[in-house]
Amino acid sequence: MKKINKQKTSDKKTKLQKKIKEKILTGIVHIRSTFNNTIITLSRLNGEVLGQSSAGIIGYKGTKKSTPYAAQMAIADVLEIAKNYKMENLEVRIKGIGSGRNSVLRALEAADIKLISIADVTPLPHNGCRAPKKPRV
């Protein structure tokens, strides 16, 4: 039998607390909204991830993950992480077409954090690859 070293787990907790005490003024909120889920990630300006949440992480399963209310709960979870880092300004980047897009934006505007910019970064094709041919029936 191996003994679990309790000292290592306490070291991890103190490292996490030290990291949260750091003050970050500006961050980026990446919102990926699909038909099945809404995934929200909070990062620094250089792209380092600080925290993330989604409707599935909050506890919703199945078709309830795709609801606007579940997306609103996920953004509330990410805003708590932003408050722990004492963020004052946020850039928002939205990708995808899902039902959670509008409710997430409303929740962000209602929060007491200033929004610097809102950008839609949904990828759009510029007539790239040739489409597959139609099946003959």
Q: Locate tokens 């409303």: which residue?
A: 106
Q: Could you identify the residue written with the tokens 């759009």?
A: 124
| Sequence-ordered list of residues with C-beta below 8 angstroms from that of 103, at least 6 positions apart, any chain | 68, 69, 71, 72
pTM for the complete prediction? 0.77
With tokens 């850039």, the residue in question is 91
Look at residue 132 and tell me if it is in a domain: no
pLDDT in tens, the chain (137 residues): 555 555 555 555 555 555 566 888 999 999 999 999 999 999 999 999 999 999 999 999 999 998 999 999 999 999 999 999 999 999 999 999 988 889 999 999 998 899 999 999 999 889 888 989 999 98
- Residue 100: give the domain boundaries: 26-120
Give domain status of residue 94, yes or no.
yes
What is the number of other CB atoms lying within 10 angstroms of the CB of residue 50? 20
Which CATH number do you get for residue 40?
A: 3.30.420.80
Cα–Cα dist 77/132, whole Å: 42
